Structure 1
Amino acid sequence: MEEIEAITAVHHPVRRRIFDYLGLYGASQVGSLARALDQQVGSISHHLRMLERAGIVERADDPTGDKRTSWWQIARRSFSWSVDDFAGSPADAMLARGAQRANINAQIGRLSAWHRSSDPDPMWSRAAFSTDTLVWATADELAALSKAFVDTIAQWARSIDRDDESDESASERRPVFVFAHGFPTTP
């Protein structure tokens, strides 16, 4: 089970952006993070310390060997949790529900931003997708779908490792956000 401190730390909007940036680009210097995320260096440093306390990021060695700069990298790639994990503590359950709302808002916000944008490359518009379906399933079957989906995305991501410089399509790659939700409902 995830610690509530990790869940609440990573679901702060700026911290989520830091986590995503480090996940995409690897170890980065604080100043580079601040410029990329349009934030002040002091603010980025504060959020990095909060993420470090929660075990989400860790200090990294400066690749140039310069000890005067502060470099950071993610300490873990993913989180798996449910609000139900915190049912034993009303205070933690409230924090988990807040983090869940923040996560959903971030996901929907990204999707909305994509639809508001006008990408000049129609190839990307054709490649983007949306899918949904309504089927009968048990809780165990839904859990199996979740695991299969997560495993498929992880396998797909490994197959297109962005650090493979010999790959001719590497220069055409962009960050791609993939999310799906599966939950019980009524028609």
Structure 2
Amino acid sequence: MAYPDKVLGDDEEVVRHLHPHWLTVFWPIVGFLVLVGAASFGAALVPDGTQQGLWRLVVVGAAVVLAVWLVGVPLLRWRTTHYVITTHRLLHRTGVLSRHGRDLGLSRITDVSYRQSLWDRVINSGTVTIETAGDGGPTVFTAIPDSDGVQQLLNQLVEEDADRRAQESAAYLGEYHSLDGQHPTEQF
């Protein structure tokens, strides 16, 4: 699913769009399978009688409520958490009902590092830490798929962004000097 173009600038393109690693929803899915099994077993244990249908509905209803809370909410959190790397910035959006977001301009990023435990290396996941100029502390993103690749991509984009800004600045200065010593606002 593509990231909405409405949040992107005119000359900005999405380079990579990530969600947290899929293993963040592993235990909720295992919980769902256990819940289905337990609800089926519980419904089968309801004794025969006039109230059997009602008690089976109670068991299924409780299983549905637990499934929404233990499975649905984590899946929605995973699906609505976005890490979007563009040609100009890094966007982080999260939230199901209320939304939270943070944008880090590539020009403000001073350092990008990643950390992987042995298990993270096995599943190709990790933690990406981003230091920015002017902030009080690092921005830490956990459960990032291909964290070492994301770290390398961000470092490359930061360098490309610095080169692009330097070229734009040089082009502006070239235009400024070509006006025969007049300041651009003095033309009119």
TM-score (norm 2): 0.25
The structure whose residues are more often strand, as a share, is 2
| Structure number with larger C-alpha Rg | 2
